[in-house]
Amino acid sequence: MNNDDYTLEDFVKNPIRDITFKSIYKEIQTDIDFSSLFSGQKKLLKTNLAAFASFGLFSLPHELIHAGANYLTGGTNKEIVINTLYGGPLWEKIIPGVESKVLFPLLGGYVKFENPSLAGSLTATVAPYALTSLGIYLMKKGKEKESILLCAGGAGLGLAHLGGIIGDWRIAGQKMIEESVEAVQDALEVKTSPEYANAAAFAMFLGGLYIGSKLLAVSYRASKATVNSVRKRVAKE
């Protein structure tokens, strides 16, 4: 899907076309690039700083959506953490149950939760990416209006979607694999031998990355196709 304006109709015809991580990485990078709106030198640096600042602002709603979706699907939230770099100490004082911890800069935070069902667990894991459509809309609108503020807001959500490959999307893929493996083992009445446990865990981790990258790509393009379709329909009315 090289056409930036592909619609839901285009997406539905071939939702899994060219969904490699390399292709979706390039697409998102292009979408969130608004360096042309800056003047002077170091435009890319200014763009990245604005995008990461926006990413930090969206860390709180992102993690709260995780927690909320888990609660609504019958799960229990064990820990809700916001990166100290992104205002964790402030939210820790304001919102009961939220903790602040120093994390790797690309992590806005995390939620440790337990959920009794695979469906509930997957819902809680990917629910925050409902915000991706908003991010894509802000990026498109910001470029049209040449608004750095709108573009930065959208870029922050775009970064969150892409960055999910090291966390949420990988976890979602891994959960799907683990559930499938457990179902097969139960049917065959076999269990993984302790001596192969580490190798099996590593294989599932790699498998989670692979499946997660596909989920990331499909979900991003579905969000983008939805935004494009709505914008085209509104423009016609």
**Per-residue pLDDT reduced to its tens digit, 204-224:** 899 999 999 999 999 999 999
Is 28 inside any structural domain? yes
Handedness of CA 155, 156, 157, 160 (dihedral sign): positive
pLDDT at position 131 is 97
Number of domains within the chain: 1
Is 2 inside any structural domain? no
Range of the domain at 52: 8-231
Mean pLDDT of the 168-174 span: 94
Is 1 inside any structural domain? no
Residue showing tokens 């285009």? 10
From first CA to last CA, the distance across the chain in angstroms is: 26
Is 93 inside any structural domain? yes
Nearest to 154 by CA among 77, 224, 88, 107: 224
CA distance 195 to 232: 57
Tens digit of pLDDT for each residue in 61-108?
999 999 999 999 999 999 999 999 999 999 999 999 999 999 987 789
Query: Which of 157-166, 185-194, 199-208 is predicted least confidently?
Result: 185-194
Tens digit of pLDDT for each residue in 2-58?
578 899 999 999 888 888 888 999 999 999 999 999 988 899 999 999 999 999 999
Tens digit of pLDDT for each residue in 124-168?
999 999 999 999 999 999 999 999 999 999 999 999 999 999 889
- Asked if residues 100 and 81 have their Cβ atoms less than 8 Å apart, the reply is yes
Give the number of other Cβ atoms within 10 Å of residue 49's Cβ. Answer: 12
Is 110 inside any structural domain? yes
Contacts of 221 (CB under 8 A, 6+ apart): 1, 6, 11, 15, 19, 24, 27
Is 111 inside any structural domain? yes
Is 237 inside any structural domain? no
